[in-house]
Chain A
Amino acid sequence: MTKEQNKRIHLIISWIIGVSIVIAGICLMAACIGIYRSGGQPYSREAVSAAFSPIAIPVYLCLVFVVLGFALDLCLPISKTKAVDKQYSAICRRLHERADMSLCNPELKTQIAKEQKSRLIHKGICAALLLVGSVVFLIYALDGSHFHPSEINSSVISAMYILLPCMAVPFAYGIFAAFHARRSIQKEIALLKLAPVAAKQDAPAEKKPNLAVPILRVALLVIGIGVLMYGFLSGGTADVLTKAINICTECVGLG
């Protein structure tokens, strides 16, 4: 068998397994929804067995495919050469270090600056949208009257109706900005390749070690131990233990 044929078999099997897993998952979800929609007190061991037995075939078939996939890897091994994605940001950084911008022609310089500026603007808009969304949600959340103790589920759902658009808008813009940034970096790389190369500089003088991180680390460690000991000595373990040795039925999703 040629390498190409081997690769094709692996690809086909992996797609079959993937599709079978999705089908099995959908079957499981449909069975669960089916039980729930039957009304009354829907769940019982019998109801679950009755609803899940018709989907046993696709689920078992999926498991067989999964095992087959592993067996195929053992019997017909395929050399895994991992395709490495181009790290455009890293390439761009390296090219910037290499280029001598003082010798660069002004037009090229302007174009590079334009690309950088456009990325910055999109990032700024995205951050502004996120800030606005966060402020809107925080204003909503800080008003305690929105969280009713007697109607927790509906209060949380209402909060989600506010939260979702607040986060979805910056997220959608973020996707646009990310793809734009990728295109823009690619353009900048092309421009940077045209820039003259700087003469090799001497190795920079050794920097003094940054002590901020070790100091912060020790400070946080001391605070952590202090707070933990204070909590422990003033009886903080009792509530953790109570919560852990008893089952709050809602918390584990039982109802």
Chain B
Amino acid sequence: MAMTKMISTVKRYLPSKRKLMQLYFGLLFNANLKGYVTGNIYRGSTKSVCVPGMNCYSCPGAVGACPLGSLQGAFSADRSTLYYVGGILLLYSVLFGRLICGWLCPFGLIQELLHKIKTPKLKKSPVTRLLSYLKYVLLVVFVLIIPIAYAFKDTPQPAFCKYICPSGTLEGGLGLLANKVNESYFSMLGPLFTWKFLLLISIMIGCVFIFRLFCRFICPLGALYGLFNKVSIFGVQFDKATCTDCGLCTAHCKMDIHHVGDQECISCGECIDICPTKAISWKGAGIFLKQNDIPHKPNKTRKVARIVSYVLMIALLIGAFAYYWNDDAGGVNAELGNEIGDLCYGYDLELLTKDGISQDTVNPINTGKITIINFWGTWCTPCVNELPYFDRIASEYADSVSVIAIHTHMVVETAPEYIGKYYSDSSILFAKDYPVDDVGLNGGYYSSLGGRGMFPYTVILDENGVIVANFLSSVEYEQLKEVVDAQLNN
């Protein structure tokens, strides 16, 4: 008897089909296992495709782009990017709606696993229902208003990623810091990291007591998908004619729904079995099956089809692991001279002006002056913000310091325009990095100086081209001045 009870309890703990799907997609979206070992992010072409769920693209394992991060970045990029990201988001929304939250989002899985911990739980109430509208406020303010306001000032500002996103802190921030290779990243941690770490811990503790706290109250991506829930092709729906309005589905659901399939419904499908009149069914099931005609005992053909689909899915996952393990996208082409005291690698870099790529070149080790090499990009907020400090140093120490700002984005259309608008009279020498791979987006000079995808990055050389300082992340004017003064006094 006790044994039977125990078996039934064990069965209760076995993951449901939905959990397995969440795990599967979590692994598929983070299939770059090599990234966890090397501490580097994946830099291949699949990252130009947005995955449907919340998955930080700075996670060492991520093989796709985060749709929310891409959307915020798209406002300050050219119009085609906005069309591309907007199109992807619209397509995902119309196809799946919030089914993505329930079945495909890796961060949703983390939240649900945390909620499995045996503690007293906070039930949904009118207060949680009201709090569920908070995500719309966050969507409008942090994903639309602030990024757009700063896009008009040519300063990319992914406000949600920067100030709130716990997925970025967990997968990107902590994911990178956890690897000993990235020990130097600790030096850049400050108030922002402290705030985001506190927020992450609060959200994770909250998820233990409140079901999908982040999804329900904070996630702007869920808010966006939720707007399309009623028109989405896949998801759950209820038949008004059969529904007796007993309210069992709403009572059973842990989300703040008013009725099945509304903007809060994550289409987990748990209510389908609960409904006494079988009024709830899968939307889009008609594509594969006759609606409400899902047999309890699948016939032989269906069984075979199911096994084949499982095998294909597993093969795809193993294939993805193998592909990303052997893919050297963004590999460093030269390892010489990236430590303090080393002679810097020299290369004739093409200069960038407001009119585009110039025929003139500059070699950072042959300037005959103290040389500050700054790797920047118009897409990078801290890079753009610190450029005035370099400009000030370049004008104040014009005789003794040469500042070379190397744009790392190989598609440089936006850089000349930016230079023309803000730095047409500057003493900074703007240059263009050279590509090292077929994709043409990885900077060769940047890689040669030990750059591993982290921006901004600054290296300071003495008159002989020997590295005297390097700064990963933003620098202040005072820091630059201190190094330059120390070199001039030597």
For residue B226, give the distance in angstroms from its CB to the closest CB of chain A. Answer: 15
Residues of A3-25 whose CB lies within 8 A of B: 10-11, 13-15, 17-18, 21-22, 25
> Which of B14-22, B202-210, B308-316, B390-398 is the contact stretch?
B202-210
B155:A254 contact, CB within 8 angstroms: no
Contact with B along A218-255 (1 / 0, CB 8 A): 00110111111111101111111111111111111111
A221 — nearest CB in chain B belongs to which residue? B94
Verify A77–B8 contact, CB threshold 8 A. yes
Residues of B within 8 A of A240 (CB): 47-48, 50, 65, 70, 73-74, 81, 84-85
The answer to whether the Cβ of B193 comes within 8 Å of any Cβ in the partner chain is: yes
Interface of B is mostly: helix
B84: A residues at CB distance < 8 A: 228, 231-232, 236-237, 240
| Given A232-B84, A252-B58: A21 touches B208 (CB 8 Å cut-off) | yes
For B149, give the chain A residue with the smallest CB separation: A147
Would you give the shortest CB distance from B380 to chain A, in whole angstroms? Answer: 5
Report the nearest A residue to B446, measured CB to CB: A246
Interface residue A44 (Cβ < 8 Å from any Cβ of B): yes
Instruction: Tell yes or no: A131 within 8 A of B by CB.
Output: no
Q: A213 on the interface (CB 8 Å rule)?
A: yes
Contact assessment for A231 and B82 in the assembled complex, using a CB-CB cutoff below 8 Å: yes
- B246: interface (CB < 8 Å): yes
Nearest CB in chain B to that of A207: its residue: B241
Contact pick for B379, options A150, A179, A216, A242, CB 8 Å? A242
A73 within 8 Å of B (CB atoms): yes
**Residues of B contacting A241 in the complex (Cβ-Cβ under 8 angstroms):** 45, 47-48, 65, 439, 441
How many B residues have CB within 8 A of the partner chain? 133
Q: How far is the CB of B347 from chain A (nearest CB, A)?
A: 20
A227-B83 CB under 8 A given contacts A87-B251, A253-B193: yes
Q: Which of B130, B163, B209, B251 contacts A171 (CB 8 A)?
A: B130
Taking the complex as formed, is A93 at the interface, i.e. its CB lies under 8 A from any CB of chain B?
Answer: yes
In-complex Cβ contact of B201 among A28, A156, A227 (8 A):
A28
Give Cα distance in the complex from A238 to B441, angstroms: 8
Q: State the 10 A-B residue pairs at the shortest beta-carbon distance, nearest first.
A: A228-B87, A87-B247, A236-B84, A231-B84, A231-B83, A178-B126, A90-B247, A69-B118, A253-B196, A252-B172
**A residues whose Cβ falls under 8 Å from a Cβ of B:** 10-11, 13-15, 17-18, 21-22, 25, 28-29, 32-33, 35-36, 41-45, 47-48, 66, 69-70, 72-75, 77, 82, 84-87, 89-91, 93-94, 137, 141, 144, 146-147, 149-150, 152, 156, 159, 163, 167, 171, 174-175, 178-179, 181-182, 213, 216-217, 220-221, 223-232, 234-255
| Beyond known contacts A15-B119, A231-B87, A248-B58: 15 more, CB 8 A cutoff | A17-B117, A21-B208, A73-B9, A89-B247, A147-B146, A152-B150, A217-B232, A224-B87, A228-B84, A242-B379, A246-B453, A247-B176, A249-B188, A251-B168, A254-B188
Interface residues of B (CB under 8 A from A): 5-6, 8-10, 13, 41-45, 47-50, 56-58, 62, 64-66, 69-70, 73-74, 77-78, 80-88, 90-91, 93-95, 117-120, 123, 126-127, 129-130, 137, 141, 145-146, 149-150, 152-155, 157-159, 161-163, 165, 168-169, 172-173, 176-177, 180, 183, 185-198, 201-202, 204-205, 208-209, 228, 230-233, 244-248, 250-252, 258, 329-330, 377, 379-382, 384-385, 388, 408-409, 411, 439, 441-442, 453-456, 472-474
